[in-house]
Structure 1
Amino acid sequence: MTASPDLAIRLRRAAFNRALADADLAAIAPLLALDVVMITGTDSAVIAGRRAQLQAWKREFSAHARMTYVRLPDAIIASPVEPIALEHGKWQGISGGGAAVLASGDYSAKWRKVGADWVIEAEIFVTLA
């Protein structure tokens, strides 16, 4: 039996959050499409491709005052005609010690089912606080 798109994507998002918390690049890679695009929340930097995103996370993980990012999905809408889905939610950048939320906002992510797995094709973040 296969999980519904909602459950499958929520499980993949939870795995992504764990990988970010653990600074685990190997766990992040299979969650991203090869041509994934991320638009960051504050400066709207465009990070195109899995390799570029993994390099960005590697730099983030080695930062002296590292933030841990968490995405909290509010809704996942699966397309009835294509193997794609849209995720909406809130994100937070939490201090390395977990003591304070340093930045937060909203995000949207486009997922695509490739074989048996859902992968992120695109994400856009907006910093609101």
Structure 2
Amino acid sequence: MTATADLAIRMARAAFNRALAEGDLSAIGPLLTMNVVMMTGTDSGIIAGRKAQLLAWKREFAAKERMVYTRTPDSIISSPVEPIAMEHGHWTGMVGGTTVASGQYSAKWRNVGGDWLIEAEIYLTLA
């Protein structure tokens, strides 16, 4: 993996985390491919497409006791033959500063027009 790709993905992940913390839908959309897929950690629900994911985050941001998720990359591996990369890491969900859920995740990224975008994510709830 080039240092540039690793840094770009880590910066995009940090931007996504900031958007989640701030409840900023307009910052999340540009980080997702149109056909992004997310499989949630606890119920294995599938959220397919950028529009569906933004609607899910909108509902999440409106919750009275909103959970704030943070994803922290442990490793990022890029393909030497395609403009794709895989991120592996751990996540936490906090309500009012207290961790109430956590686990592991993997995310597939795709370089589109020079930008690294999330194409797929899968979460595993461990606590």
Q: TM-score, normalised by structure 2?
A: 0.97
Equivalent position amino acid for 2:113 in 1 = G
Aligned length: 126
In the alignment, which of 92, 109, 112 is matched to residue 110 of structure 2? Answer: 112
2:33 aligns with 33
CA distance in 1, matches of 2:94, 2:12: 20
Partner of 1:24: 24
Counterpart-to-counterpart distance in 1, 2:36 and 2:61: 20
Whole-angstrom distance in 1 between the partners of 2:43 and 2:4: 35
The unaligned stretches of length 5 or more in structure 1 are none
- Distance in 1 (CA, whole Å) between partners of 2:3 and 2:77 is 14
What is the SS of the residue equivalent to 1:4? helix
Shift of 1:116: 1.3
RMSD: 1.1
Unaligned 5+ runs, structure 2: none
Q: CA deviation at 1:127?
A: 0.1
**Matched residue SS, 2:92:** strand
Displacement of 1:4 in angstroms is 1.2
SS of alignment partner, residue 93 of structure 1: strand
Task: Identify the residue that residue 72 of structure 1 maps to in structure 2.
Answer: 72
Deviation at 1:3, TM superposition (A): 6.2
Letter in 2 for 1:26: S
Letter in 1 for 2:10: R
